[in-house]
Amino acid sequence: MDGLSITVMIVKVLIVFAGVMIGVMAMTLAERRISAFMQDRLGPNRVGPKGILQPIADGIKFLMKEDIIPTAAVKPIYILAPAMLIIPALMTFAVIPFGQTVTLFGKQIALQVADVNIGILYIFALTSVGVYGLVLAGWSSNSKYPLLGGLRSSAQLISYELAMGLAAVSVIMMAGSLELNDIVAAQQGELFSWNICRQPLAFLIFLIAVYAETNRLPFDMTEAEQELVGGYHTEYSSMKFSMFFMAEYANMITAAALTVTLFFGGWDIPLVNEASLGFFGGILSVIAFAVKTAFFLFLFIWVRWTFPRFRYDQLMRLGWKVLLPLALLNIIITGAIMVLTA
């Protein structure tokens, strides 16, 4: 690997990291402003014009807060748990292609940090690692409410990972590859070639499972305030507390981007050949990807402030008795159609 390739890789890592962190800041503000609009309130409007600097003020506030560690906590694990949650959340975006390959300085540059041939498996593996952060945060706090939140999170995330993975299997079958670039390429060309048109049931299952995986309403049983005070992060304060929320929003951004990649053509614009437009086509594809991702992030917020929370038994029943059988049925139907049309 020459010096230019290393420089390009470092720049891509920095751009993706900065993009995700700016997205996290924007989401904290957007969530508060949109929820305020839905509830006929003003929302944050004091710090900066129209309250736009509120996320920076919140970050400074968390930095200035006292970092309290409970006396009975298992300190090494208590300190490590937030990092175990936020690091996988930031790493998962590395394999998602966010734009058409562009030519710069006579070199083909893929708008993707790492083009691995098992991209979906990489994402599912890292999201599974995030479960340990939640469970260990609950256990190491040595308090009953965080422990209950941690136990709930482990059961919930394992239950819905199955449905989410099986929903993605039908997309993998149609693309014939685990590589996300190949899945995007398989959706290009026609107006109705996106997987949302070819796999509507898989999309519905995947979307519901994504809400459960990111611990968002109506599936936020791990931090149900009315029952568990704050769930797994009840005993956390200062920057450790903020790291849990940063990880949640980073996971939301990755989940929205993955949904766009698998079912909405990724950076593809229907009936437009981005490659023929050169560098401008690359910029256009990045904008298209960002707009699609922003729509699903808005959907996260909309659903949170619209639907009530499920009971825990309803949550488990939906995952095991509804989504899992439907996902298996969808795989069988997809396989049968592929065999008959081969």
Q: Which pLDDT does position 311 carry in this prediction?
A: 83
For residue 128, is it left (φ>0), alpha (ψ between -120 and 50) or beta?
A: alpha
pLDDT(114) > 90: no
Q: Which pLDDT does position 249 carry in this prediction?
A: 92
Average pLDDT over the chain, rounded to an integer = 88
The answer to whether position 12 is within a domain reads no
Answer for the pair 106, 279: CB distance below 8 angstroms, yes or no.
no
The answer to whether position 307 is within a domain reads yes
> Which of the pair, 240 or 273, is modelled with greater confidence?
240
Measured distance CA(105)–CA(146) in Å, rounded: 53
Measured distance CA(283)–CA(276) in Å, rounded: 13
Answer for the pair 214, 248: CB distance below 8 angstroms, yes or no.
yes
Domain range for 288 is 68-341
Measured distance CA(60)–CA(25) in Å, rounded: 13
Cα–Cα–Cα angle for 317, 323, 327, nearest 5°?
150
Nearest to 227 by CA among 317, 312, 135: 312
**pLDDT single digits (tens) 51-108:** 899 999 998 998 898 888 888 888 899 999 888 888 998 899 999 999 888 877 777 8
The answer to whether position 318 is within a domain reads yes
pLDDT(136) > 80: yes
Cβ neighbors of 241 (< 8 A, separation 6 or more) are 62, 233
Q: Per the structure, how many domains does the chain have?
A: 1
The answer to whether position 25 is within a domain reads no
Q: Which pLDDT does position 226 carry in this prediction?
A: 64
The SS3 of residue 192 is coil
Mean pLDDT, range 157-178, rounded to an integer: 91
Q: Which pLDDT does position 166 carry in this prediction?
A: 94
Mean pLDDT, range 3-30, rounded to an integer: 89
Q: Which pLDDT does position 208 carry in this prediction?
A: 93
pTM of whole model > 0.95? no
The answer to whether position 258 is within a domain reads yes
Q: Which pLDDT does position 229 carry in this prediction?
A: 66
The answer to whether position 53 is within a domain reads no
**pLDDT single digits (tens) 294-310:** 999 999 999 988 888 88
The answer to whether position 303 is within a domain reads yes
Mean pLDDT, range 167-182, rounded to an integer: 92
Q: Which pLDDT does position 256 carry in this prediction?
A: 95
The answer to whether position 110 is within a domain reads yes
Measured distance CA(102)–CA(110) in Å, rounded: 7
Q: Which pLDDT does position 263 carry in this prediction?
A: 94
Secondary structure (DSSP) of 235-273: T--HHHHHHHHHHHHHHHHHHHHHHHHHHS-TT--TT--
**pLDDT single digits (tens) 252-289:** 999 999 999 999 988 888 877 777 777 788 888 999 99
Q: Where are the beta strands (DSSP E) in the chain?
A: 102-104, 107-109
pLDDT(137) > 90: no
